[in-house]
Structure 1
Amino acid sequence: MLVAVEIDAHSVRRGDQLMIGGQTFTICDMTALPRNAKRLHFTGGETMTLTRTTTLWAARRTDPRRLPRR
């Protein structure tokens, strides 16, 4: 199940999917940079730098059995 989550350099995870310019990019690896930034590596070979002040929306795959009950 995919859910929309707000991410920043602290909360981004491998496997998150970003929609940029109408294309979906899946994060396969990350590199820590100075000043709490991260360089995101996508499955297609592209990279993107996420600074500590950048906030984006991503799709994250979750297991519905592990979601908190309301």
Structure 2
Amino acid sequence: MARSERQVAIEVGGGSLRRGDVIQVGGQSMAVVDICHLTGGAKLIAFRTGDILTITPRTTLVVLRTVAGWEGPVC
């Protein structure tokens, strides 16, 4: 069977956030397009919508991340 991509929900710390991750902010799904490092370990997150969010190194988020390697149908 061919390998396919699938989005999975995982919990990540502020340091593990990646471009392409999708998080919910105010009930709206927002895709991360850029991450800028700020002093003190904080990060400025830019979204596809043009909105921004600042997080600290201690911030924990649940993100949808696209991963490869899933085989077969999902039940």
Q: Secondary structure at the match of 2:40?
A: helix
Please list, as runs of the form range in 1=range in 2, the aligned pairs for 1:1-70 lying within 5 A after superposition.
1-64=6-69
Larger Rg: 2
Q: What is the number of residues matched between the two proteins?
A: 65
1:21 offset after TM fit, Å? 1.9
Please report how far the alpha carbon of residue 64 of structure 1 lies from its aligned counterpart in structure 2 after TM superposition.
Answer: 2.1
Q: Secondary structure at the match of 1:63?
A: strand
Report deviation, 1:32.
0.2
Structure with the higher strand share, 1 or 2 = 2
After TM superposition, the score normalised by the length of structure 1 is: 0.86
Normalising by structure 2, we get a TM-score of 0.81
Distance 2:17 2:52 in 1: 14
Offset of residue 37 of structure 1: 1.1
Alpha-carbon distance in structure 2 between the residues aligned to 1:34 and 1:8: 17
Match of residue 68 from structure 1: none
Cα contact 2:37–2:43 (8 A) shared by 1:
yes
